[in-house]
């Protein structure tokens, strides 16, 4: 029951933090959303900061699980899996707002040390998943996989998503999505 209650609190906090941001979210509001007392939150979390960071960790685990599900789909080709992966990233601001805000804080050089550690957790988790996929795909094609390739794909995909978003502000007539552009690049890797 304790673990379930803690997860309920985290889920409610994720919604609050995503909607109103860290500074405008109060523990009173999170408690009110759950119809519990604020003391119950303090039973599980020592501070608002701890709840915030646990909320990001929870959202990170959900995000990484979704990536794993995409790459485990047997009904999709490898190229389609990468395409779905990019689509997930393109929609990050709607589906995983806390992660998106971490990335924005990084770009604005307003990231805290703890947030930086969480961002590293996200990126390294993605790299591990991509490494497994590439290793399985290339197992009969090359002796060893370049250890930098998964990191390059993850970082390039984030760069592409953000640069595509920026580009579309200046060139709204452009129809190519990050997914289309990345798919073409990945297709070149398969050749």
For residue 130, what are the CA distances in angstroms to 64, 121, 150?
11, 14, 6
The single residue listed with the structure tokens 């501070």 is 47
The predicted-structure confidence for 162-188, as pLDDT tens digits, reads as follows 776 666 666 666 666 666 777 776 666
Which residue, 41, 15, 14, is CA-closest to 27? 41
191 is written with which tokens? 């050749």
The predicted-structure confidence for 48-89, as pLDDT tens digits, reads as follows 999 999 999 999 999 999 999 999 999 998 888 888 998 899
């Amino acid at each position: 029951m304790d673990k379930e209650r803690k997860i309920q609190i985290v889920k409610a906090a994720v919604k609050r933090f995503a909607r109103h941001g860290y500074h405008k979210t109060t523990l009173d509001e999170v408690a009110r959303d759950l119809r519990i007392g604020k003391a119950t939150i303090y039973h599980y979390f020592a501070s608002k900061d701890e709840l915030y960071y646990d909320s990001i960790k929870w959202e990170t685990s959900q995000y990484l699980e979704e990536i794993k599900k995409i790459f485990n789909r047997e009904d999709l080709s490898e190229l389609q899996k990468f395409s779905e992966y990019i689509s997930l990233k393109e929609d990050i601001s709607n589906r995983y707002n806390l992660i998106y805000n971490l990335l924005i804080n990084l770009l604005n050089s307003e990231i805290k040390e703890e947030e930086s550690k969480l961002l590293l957790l996200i990126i390294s988790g993605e790299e591990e998943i991509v490494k497994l996929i590439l290793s399985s795909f290339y197992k009969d094609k090359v002796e060893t996989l370049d250890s930098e390739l998964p990191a390059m794909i993850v970082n390039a995909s984030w760069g592409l998503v953000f640069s595509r978003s920026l580009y579309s502000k200046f060139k709204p007539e452009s129809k190519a999505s990050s997914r289309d552009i990345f798919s073409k690049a990945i297709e070149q890797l398969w050749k």
